[in-house]
Structure 1
Amino acid sequence: MGKIREFFNGVVSEMRKVSWPKRKELTRYTVVVLSTVIVMAVFFALVDLGISTVFRWFLKA
């Protein structure tokens, strides 16, 4: 039991050293991540649509 307590005391000690982002930074990071995900999703949807169209065109010919 002593090792488990020592482990969690170490975890708590290290968590106090962490530099947590402020609310404004966290909001900015969240917006950046979500906008990047949306842009990438649209990009890959368009690429998929283009490739599908090309394959359908080749199969009809």
Structure 2
Amino acid sequence: MTDAVGSIDMPDAEDEAPESKKKSRKGGKRGKKGPLGRLALFYRQIVAELRKVVWPTRSQLTTYTSVVIVFVVVMIGLVTVLDIGFARVVKYVFG
């Protein structure tokens, strides 16, 4: 029977990499900077990500805000009606 490539019984040549080829995780961009340097890098990354954001136009923002407000008002009304209904049922049952 043939074994699958990279099985436990027959390791591939790639699986047996010598220790000298493995990279250490020390150093790099973050390894040599102090806390203020890392904080500055974090801030620069935030600004870079915010520049990638596609911001809505004013009309889209108005539409989305209106939809949310209407939905919240409808849900408030629904919860109010259910609350009053349950209160009346409880008052009727328990006196």
Q: Which amino acid aligns with 1:41?
A: I
SS in 2 for 1:19: coil
Counterpart of 1:15 in structure 2 is: 50
Report the alpha carbon displacement of residue 10 of structure 1 after superposing the two structures with TM. 0.8
**C-alpha distance in 2 between matches for 1:58 and 1:9:** 63
Instruction: With the length of structure 1 as denominator, give the TM-score of the two structures.
Output: 0.92
Take 1:48 and 1:32, find their aligned partners in 2: how far apart are those partners?
A: 24
Aligned with 2:83 (options 35, 48, 51): 48
Q: Unmatched 5+ residue regions in structure 2?
A: 1-35
User: Does structure 1 residue 33 correspond to structure 2 residue 51?
Assistant: no
Higher relative contact order structure (alpha carbons within 8 Å, sequence separation ≥ 6): 2
- Counterpart CA distance in 1 for 2:89 and 2:44 is 60
**How many pairs does the alignment contain?**
60
Which of the two has higher C-alpha Rg? Answer: 2
- Indicate the percent of aligned positions where both proteins have the same amino acid: 37
Q: Report the RMSD for the aligned CA atoms in angstroms.
A: 0.8
Structure 1 Cα separation of the partners of residues 40 and 86 of structure 2 = 57
User: CA offsets, 1:26-46, max 9 Å, x none?
Assistant: 100100000000000000000
